[in-house]
Amino acid sequence: MSQFKFSVGPWNVHAGADSYGPATRKEIPLEEKLKRFKEIGFDAIQFHDDDAVPNINELTEEEIKEEARKLKEMLDKYGLKAEFVAPRLWMDPHTIDGGFMSTRKEDREFAMWRAKRSIDIANELGTDLIVLWLAREGTLCEESKSPVWATQQLISAINEMLEYDKHIRVCIEPKPNEPIDRSICGTMGHVMAVSAATIDPKRVGGNLESAHAILAGLDPAHEIGFALAFNKLFTVHLNDQNGIRYDQDKTFGVENLRQAFNQVKVLVENDYGSHGEYVGLDVKAMRTTTDEDSYKHLENSLKIFKRLEEKVKRFDYDFQKKCVETRDFEGLEMYVMDLLMGAE
């Protein structure tokens, strides 16, 4: 029995298209996904603004709220909560060169409009959390914008969101690059600094995605721990990643089991979830996966997480303490390997 509650986004079950080839599986309607998510063991759903309200740009502010209310009814029907809403600021022609940091004023206004609509949708769905994955916020051509100006743009955009709604919390999901060449807010350290510079730092935190930390050359468990030390880990996006290459969103734990174990361990040790936080997944199926197995990577991620949680609960802290006292780190390390290999 896990101590955690789990969340997932509808984009985590997708048809398999990538930059080099078309879809390999059928599109699945949202309601069918929600039903399966609940059966698999998820408690809450993560949304982009346009996952929640398709064709958002063509609707009035009232129509957007109305659509969000319909979605809320669908979530209620399956006993699911909404975890967060994230403005999708990377698909629209307005966001070719970023949103909040675009060099064009009309594009920055578009980004702010979508951010505020995301807040409206969140309110209708009964969540106070907005996630900002800053996909295109940075530079493609390094000399095209000042990193000082761009950072200040981000801080003022967040301030405007905090002012627009006095209860909303904003959660930055850092990533060092891709699709942008150089991003402005690439790690949890950047997120903490941006948070501190806003008008209400306790309402601005982070969402650590394992793959994004690995892409920055950092250890995901340490990034999680860093945010926890400031009480600013608002959610997580657990997955896995084979080194510094394109963002893979692999099933949690399949590349580096010890690294995955330590992510679970730091969450358990710090009672993550006790303020209602979810363990969120952000994983993708491989392109070769069949229609029947469209949810396998989610089931497997949950299975691996829960088995690692059992390992963490069996972790021998007395033995660890002894090893630390005598600096027997060879012994401690072998104990961890035995635990993971099932020899303990």
- Centroid of chain to Cα 249: 11
282 binds Mg ion (CB under 5 A): yes
> Within positions 243 to 282, which residues make up the interface with ligand XLS, using CB under 6 A?
282
Phi first, then psi, for residue 65 (nearest 5°) are -65, -40
Q: How far is the CB of 317 from ligand XLS (least distance, A)?
A: 34
- Per partner kind, with CB cut-offs from 5 to 8 A, the member of Mg ion, ligand XLS, none near residue 214 is none
Nearer to Mg ion, 195 or 210 (CB): 210
Buried b / exposed e across 296-325, counting CB within 10 Å, b at 16+? ebbebbbebbbebbebbeebeeeeeeebee
Taking the complex as a whole, how short is the minimal distance between the CB of residue 42 and ligand XLS, in angstroms? Answer: 16
Cβ neighbours of residue 125 closer than 8 Å, sequence gap 6 or more:
47, 52, 68, 71, 72, 75, 82, 85
211-250: contacts with ligand XLS (CB under 6 A): 237
Q: Report what 131 binds from Mg ion, ligand XLS, none; CB cut-off 5-8 Å by kind.
A: ligand XLS
Radius of gyration of the chain (CA): 20
Q: What, of Mg ion, ligand XLS, none, does residue 238 touch, CB below 5 to 8 Å by kind?
A: none
For ligand XLS, give the closer residue by CB, 157 or 323: 157
Of the candidates 49, 50, 173, 255, which one interacts with ligand XLS according to CB under 6 A? Answer: 173
Single-letter code of the amino acid located at 211: A
Nearer to ligand XLS, 87 or 253 (CB): 87
Residue 137 lies near Mg ion (rule: CB under 5 A): no
Return the amino acid letter for 133.
W
119 near ligand XLS, rule: CB under 6 A = no
| E strands, 190-324, in order | 204-209, 233-238, 279-281
Residue 284 in contact with Mg ion, rule: CB under 5 A: no
Decide which of ligand XLS, Mg ion, none touches 86; Cβ closer than 5 to 8 Å per partner kind.
Answer: ligand XLS
Smallest separation (angstroms) from Mg ion to the CB of 133: 6
Nearer CB in complex with ligand XLS: 56/131: 131
CB 251 within 8 A of CB 304: yes
Distance in angstroms (rounded) separating the CA atoms of residues 138 and 147? 8
Choose which of 209, 223, 277, 309 interacts with Mg ion (CB under 5 A): 209
DSSP characters over 283-320:
----TT--GGGTTHHHHHHHHHHHHHHHHHHH--HHHH
Token couple for 117: 């609509």
Could you say whether residue 209 binds ligand XLS (CB under 6 A)? yes
Query: Could you give the CA distance from residue 85 to residue 100 in angstroms, rounded to a whole number?
Result: 17
Residue ranges binding Mg ion (CB under 5 A): 209, 237, 282
